[in-house]
Amino acid sequence: MTAWSLIGLLSAMIAMKLSHFQALVVFALVISIAFGFLGRRRPIDRVKYILWTLLLFLLIGVGIGWAMYPFSH
Amino acid sequence: MSGDEGLPVSPAEEASPVPPAQEARREAIAFVVAAASWLVPGLGHALLKMWGRAVICFLTVGVLVWVGAGMRGNLFNSRGNDAFDSLGYLADLGTGGFYWVAKGLETNGPDVSRADGDYGTRFLATAGVFNLLAALHAYEVARGRKV
């Protein structure tokens, strides 16, 4: 099996269907963890930063979603 | 802490200046670290022995590219039609080596006719922009401006 066919197999495995909210959660979680590790050094500071960023991502994302709701009809 | 005329002197002014040769060497190393960080996400931090950040950078870019390609996001190429395509290409190029991994993963090509594909495009662009940010961070650390 060549490397590219292995990648093709992986690609078939990840052909995923995520709901809007699931995509938001995955995005917020990954970016929050990355920012926490990049922006802070002490473990406790990292945890606080990750949780705070995640909360803001989700709150603002859902908030913007509701703000756009009237225009979807 | 004061100067000859009683004026305050900042620690930077008091410190002995770095020799130009050493400064040039440090700058060259920082460029190598930044280039490595761009080419293989996390490699720049690994060269600086920041193992946690190296693993997180690699996994973050990897997961974003994997999910973005899985959602059949649009991976821009150099033959863009407008400025947005060109900006998208620059953002996607930011993933370094993962650009070709994403190309390999998208065996069926992009599909932005659904919301999934549109989200995938954002995931891929975010992976690139994040990797550029991480490369800049590694550069600043190598220059001694950050810890």
Q: What is the pLDDT of residues A8-66, one digit of tens each?
A: 666 655 666 788 898 999 999 999 999 999 999 999 999 999 999 999 999 999 999 99
Judge contact between B74 and B121, C-beta under 8 A. yes
- Evaluate if pTM is beyond 0.95: no
Handedness of CA B84, B89, B94, B100 (dihedral sign): positive
Pick the closest to residue A29 from A59, A51, A47 (CA basis). A51
Minimum-distance CB partner of A34 among B105, B122, B130 = B130
Those residues with Cβ within 8 angstroms of residue A73's Cβ, 6 or more apart along the chain or in another chain:
none
A residues 22..51 contacting B (CB < 8 A): 23, 26-27, 30-31, 33-34, 37-38, 41
- Widest CA span of chain A, in angstroms? 52
Domain spans in chain B, listed from the N-terminal domain onward: 20-143
Those residues with Cβ within 8 angstroms of residue B127's Cβ, 6 or more apart along the chain or in another chain:
B60, B61, B64, B65, B68, B94, B95, B98
Query: Degrees (nearest 5) of the Cα angle A38, A43, A45?
Result: 75
Q: What is the full per-residue pLDDT of chain B (147 aa) written as tens digits?
A: 444 445 555 555 555 567 778 888 888 999 999 999 999 999 999 999 999 999 999 999 999 999 999 888 989 988 888 889 999 999 999 999 999 999 888 877 888 888 888 899 999 999 999 999 999 999 999 998 877
User: Which positions in chain B touch A2 (Cβ < 8 Å)?
Assistant: none
